[in-house]
Amino acid sequence: MHCRAYFLLERDFQELKENDFKGITAFPVSEDLMEWGANIEGLQNTFWHGLFFQLTIHFTSQYNFVPPVVKFITIPFHPNVDQNSGRVCIDFLDDPEKWNTNYTLSSILLALQVMLSNPVLENPVNLEAARMLIKDESLYKQIVLRLFSQPIQCKKENSLEFPKDPHKLTRSIKAVSFNDYYKTWSGIATSKATEYYRSSLLEDPNFIGEYYKQKKVELKHTKEWNLKPDIPWSFGLIPDR
């Protein structure tokens, strides 16, 4: 007999298929629907557009009372993605108090798609990516685009297998070591950027204020995200309706 979470995820899957959101694909990889694979493309009008990232999503029988665990298989150089494990670190997934039972598979993936080009900098897990984004956004862009030709992948035994059907989710991705990851971006970076990398993020008291002072968030093509359940805009990115 299936648990409550199974039927909720069946509903979520149907919602995702009916809406056919641009740049988002997801599918179950286990019979009990607790394990999922997903593919996200960066938003239009951002340098992330055209870049595709594979993820795994692990639900439990407690869904939707608790959030799933989401990890990138293709790990982006991003303030809110752990560079070692690929785990997504943003409040509505990390803090049960900020999780809402109205969130669905679709709203989670849409929020992550927005997060790629609009990172949350209050509590970054990848400090190097966060500092570089603040100090030199053009350099950060170069690094992201350069690294994508050799993205990092999590290597784990008994990892999920993604379908080989190109209409479901395909992309040939070459895995590189974590050392190569830093070798690539440090090769692009100037000596000034290397100095930022060595400095502690928390030593700069103006870190967050400087970012929001200089950067104005502009989200376009938001009609693609018109979900009945609210997208978890807990990180302050509410698109125009």
Please tell me the pTM assigned to this model.
0.67
Taking residues 38-52, report their average pLDDT.
94
Q: How many residues in the chain? A: 241
Q: Which of the pair, 127 or 181, is modelled with greater confidence? A: 127
**Tokens matching residue 161:** 């297998």
Quote the distance between the C-alpha of residue 238 and its chain's center.
Answer: 17
Q: Which residues is 28 bridged to in the sheet? A: 36
Annotated catalytic residue 89: yes
Q: Which of the pair, 138 or 219, is modelled with greater confidence? A: 138
Q: Is cis: bond before 64, omega within 30 of 0? A: yes
Q: Which of the pair, 141 or 149, is modelled with greater confidence? A: 141
DSSP notation for 31-70: TTS-EEEEEEEPPTTSTTTT-EEEEEEE--TTTTTSPPEE
Q: Tell me the percentage of the chain whose pLDDT exceeds 70.
A: 61
Among residues 88, 89, 129, 144, the one annotated as catalytic is 89
Count the alpha carbons within 13 Å of 212 in the hemisphere toward its beta carbon: 9
54, containing H or E segment: strand 52-58
Give 183-211 pLDDT, tens digit per residue: 554 454 433 333 333 334 434 455 444 54
Cα 104 to Cα 85: distance, rounded to the nearest angstrom: 24
Give 74-101 pLDDT, tens digit per residue: 999 999 999 999 999 989 999 889 999 9
